[in-house]
Structure 1
């Protein structure tokens, strides 16, 4: 007999150990961390940020001098050209063949203040003419310094200098907000599975309890302690409990698949959800939340960008509606010779000054219409931005108010759950000893189920509200610090 008990104890211990090894316990914070590192939504947010990161790097690189090599390695021409024959006083067509090659290397520097381009270049050209008048010629520009400037035009460089840093700052904040959106999604999947597991556990207990009560009812029916109707009700409850368990098992599989898929986990072991502890009281002042939203929310930067781009378009169309003038200045040396060495000896001075004008005479109001349209778009953008900021401010106020209320609701839900569990246990014991009827037992069980669901739902709403506030303000109110450390952590990798 002793050996049998020992075998039973060892088997029970091994079963518990195997379950502990195969079941993966997940807390809410662990799920959020896994999703932030491994979920597809997180990868998408990361790549969106990297696209903006490299765009900003390209903008910064364009502010430095650029070295450009322009080449025509080979150009062969064979054509008929018209020539005048003075001996016969007629025009004749002759075949001409030539081979041409050139290379130009230049250093260009764009100037943000003026919108012009300063350059230094050097050029070498080779020409070989075939035929009766065959010759070889080299042309050189050893050095040339120049400047190109639009006198009345639109300065693209100046606007880029304003907008590009703003866009990059917005991309950083959007990346942080995307991570908070991942947290929101995790909360939805996490508590959906938590509710499914709680319902599954209650369904299993309900099956056991319904079977037990049905057997007790059978014994009491034999001594006429309960009616046949109550006996049939107990049997029906036992059947319904088993059917409910089967349906809940299906929902449990769906909820498990939803969370594991979002977290990008392999479905090798079952998951056991660990509900978060009752959160400590955390009061968030609305004024502080609004201040942090104004400072950190990327939507405000988007609004600034929208206004700035509309103003840029007004300036571009306004200057384009008037006449355009551009100035090109260059000074250097050039030479032509039959050998490459001679082409670099005794170079002649070369000075070029060019002023170009483009004056609209008649365009039937096209340019004027473009200017008016750009101004109207600017007004629309300003009104739209004002409405967006009002909506965002209202969303922050409502979300913070809802969060502060959720803390009180957690206290009530927790107390209601304790009372419902105690009431059901007491009613169940009273039914077993024959001091309570089946209706009271059923009502007590339903109240316990509702209290359990309500407690999980209130917890879910609390954490959703908290992470929505983090998303709107990009601020951690528990640590009293901005969420910019998330970006700093990522920026250290790249």
Structure 2
């Protein structure tokens, strides 16, 4: 709950920051804030939410189908005036006679589907009215005050039973898929974040390099004036200054492109300028491959998808197998009915109404069509099971390899950080030595190149670390920092987006 409050507070803060963006043209974001904002406001987040809501309403429809339903079927009024063919028994011929009638009908029923048997239980009541006009004008009311009945297929396919197995599984998969997609958003924004961070660092380095190269060129001019350096070295320093300005222009273009991609993905105003804060060296997190694999099997929506594939293939086997043999259906109802010339009389002393119907469907000759479909369904089930086994093995391998990559990246960050510190010290030392004339231009250029490379390597190491970490989170739906299932906060997550 604490995380939810923090997330809400951050989203409100960012919204206010964006509201005043014209006054304050620059805002600061760190990695976690960028991830939270992307999960809440990006177009991909809206798509993820709507995909889940589609599955949610599909599940609600399934649950509603298991509840009793109240239905009114009615023909409020039907008027006929035409000539119809009738048999004249006196003349033993068919003749056309004028007919004029008024008809009205209504049926109110409560029905309940039964998952276990696949049948439908119902209770209903009917009222009908008919009036004929002409030489023999008369009216009749017919009623069924109460009737109770049941119908089902005795040996046929029970769709309700399979829905009870598959639909809750589909909904649970949809919930986990929502969390999975949210973690996928985190992966995407991490790439945009570090692409922008790299562009900003390169731009800052280019600015520093322009100032430094101009200073060194001026120093070089002074030293050349006293013949302390050669004209070739002076020209090299001038070339470095020119190249530094060209590099600055190129890095500015790259920075604008990276900034546009970042703010566009977060669905922010295109004129927003964001200054990123690089994350500190992450705390030491130990992830065991066996634990990650266990969490993946428990939580990953792909494993539920594999189970759903097998159930749907088994359902098709059951459907085709039962359609290839004979089937019997039964309909039975017990109630009361009456007919009278007035409304009150139609409910007076109703007579018992009993209806029992048994239907048979027996395939005799179909030239092997049903049998062929049944065998195709069995073969499809076998193929599905083999395919699922292959997918599970691939998933297990991906989890293990990702954990191994993460553990390696964790060590690489320390090495990259140490290399950056050494490169900074080496450049400053070489620069100072050059200024006092104890180092040549080649050593200075090489030290600067190593410093740039060390900075890029450090940012790349951070990017690879966080990508590996969030990929593990996505595959396992487990927060290894807080040691909790990501699904634990699912309801709170959905409340934020509603």
Determine which of 458, 480, 484 is the counterpart of 1:481. Answer: 484
Moved more, 123-132 or 409-418: 123-132
Write the distance in 2 (CA, Å) between the matches of 1:289 and 1:156: 37
What is the Cα deviation at residue 206 of structure 1?
0.4
What is the Cα deviation at residue 475 of structure 1?
0.4
What is the Cα deviation at residue 429 of structure 1?
1.2
Write the distance in 1 (CA, Å) between the matches of 2:59 and 2:288: 36
Unaligned runs of 5+ in 2: 1-20
In the alignment, structure 1 residue 124 sits paired with structure 2 residue 123:
no
Q: Are the aligned partners of 2:263 and 2:272 in contact in 1 as well (CA < 8 Å)?
A: no
Write the distance in 1 (CA, Å) between the matches of 2:202 and 2:494: 43
In the alignment, structure 1 residue 257 sits paired with structure 2 residue 260:
yes
| Residues 268, 149 of structure 1: alpha-carbon distance in 2 compared, 3 angstrom cutoff | same
Write the distance in 2 (CA, Å) between the matches of 1:191 and 1:100: 75
Once the two structures are superposed, the pairs formed by residues 139-178 of structure 1 within 5 Å of their partners are: 139-178=142-181
| Map of 2:106 onto structure 1 | 103
| Map of 1:28 onto structure 2 | 31
In the alignment, structure 1 residue 248 sits paired with structure 2 residue 251:
yes
Per-residue deviation, residues 100-127 of structure 1 (Å, max 9, x unmatched): 1100000001111111100000000111
What is the Cα deviation at residue 130 of structure 1?
2.2
What is the Cα deviation at residue 268 of structure 1?
5.1
| Map of 2:442 onto structure 1 | 439
Determine which of 340, 346, 350 is the counterpart of 2:349. Answer: 346
Per-residue deviation, residues 302-335 of structure 1 (Å, max 9, x unmatched): 0111000100110011001111210000011111
Determine which of 288, 292, 307 is the counterpart of 1:289. Answer: 292
Moved more, 260-269 or 413-422: 260-269
Which SS does the other structure have where 2:365 is aligned?
Answer: coil
Moved more, 138-147 or 48-57: 48-57
Q: Are the aligned partners of 2:427 and 2:451 in contact in 1 as well (CA < 8 Å)?
A: yes
Write the distance in 1 (CA, Å) between the matches of 2:119 and 2:88: 49
In the alignment, structure 1 residue 207 sits paired with structure 2 residue 220:
no
Moved more, 225-234 or 171-180: 225-234
Write the distance in 2 (CA, Å) between the matches of 1:302 and 1:232: 67
In the alignment, structure 1 residue 404 sits paired with structure 2 residue 438:
no
Length-normalised TM-score, structure 1 = 0.94
Which SS does the other structure have where 1:96 is aligned?
Answer: strand
| Map of 1:315 onto structure 2 | 318
Unaligned runs of 5+ in 1: 1-17
In the alignment, structure 1 residue 459 sits paired with structure 2 residue 458:
no
Per-residue deviation, residues 395-426 of structure 1 (Å, max 9, x unmatched): 00000000000111001100111111111111
| Residues 84, 294 of structure 1: alpha-carbon distance in 2 compared, 3 angstrom cutoff | closer
Write the distance in 2 (CA, Å) between the matches of 1:235 and 1:38: 48
Moved more, 340-349 or 128-137: 128-137
What is the Cα deviation at residue 492 of structure 1?
4.8
| Residues 440, 19 of structure 1: alpha-carbon distance in 2 compared, 3 angstrom cutoff | farther
Which SS does the other structure have where 1:109 is aligned?
Answer: strand
Write the distance in 2 (CA, Å) between the matches of 1:153 and 1:131: 50
In the alignment, structure 1 residue 369 sits paired with structure 2 residue 372:
yes
Write the distance in 2 (CA, Å) between the matches of 1:158 and 1:19: 60
Write the distance in 1 (CA, Å) between the matches of 2:36 and 2:418: 31
Write the distance in 2 (CA, Å) between the matches of 1:276 and 1:371: 59
Equivalenced residue count is 477
Per-residue deviation, residues 70-122 of structure 1 (Å, max 9, x unmatched): 11122233343333445545432112222211000000011111111000000
What is the Cα deviation at residue 490 of structure 1?
3.0
| Map of 1:11 onto structure 2 | none
Q: Are the aligned partners of 1:176 and 1:486 in contact in 2 as well (CA < 8 Å)?
A: no
Write the distance in 2 (CA, Å) between the matches of 1:89 and 1:67: 49
Determine which of 39, 44, 62 is the counterpart of 2:42. Answer: 39
Which SS does the other structure have where 2:282 is aligned?
Answer: coil
Moved more, 44-53 or 305-314: 44-53
Q: Are the aligned partners of 1:35 and 1:263 in contact in 2 as well (CA < 8 Å)?
A: yes
Which SS does the other structure have where 2:78 is aligned?
Answer: strand
Which SS does the other structure have where 2:37 is aligned?
Answer: helix
Write the distance in 1 (CA, Å) between the matches of 2:458 and 2:29: 19
What is the Cα deviation at residue 61 of structure 1?
1.6
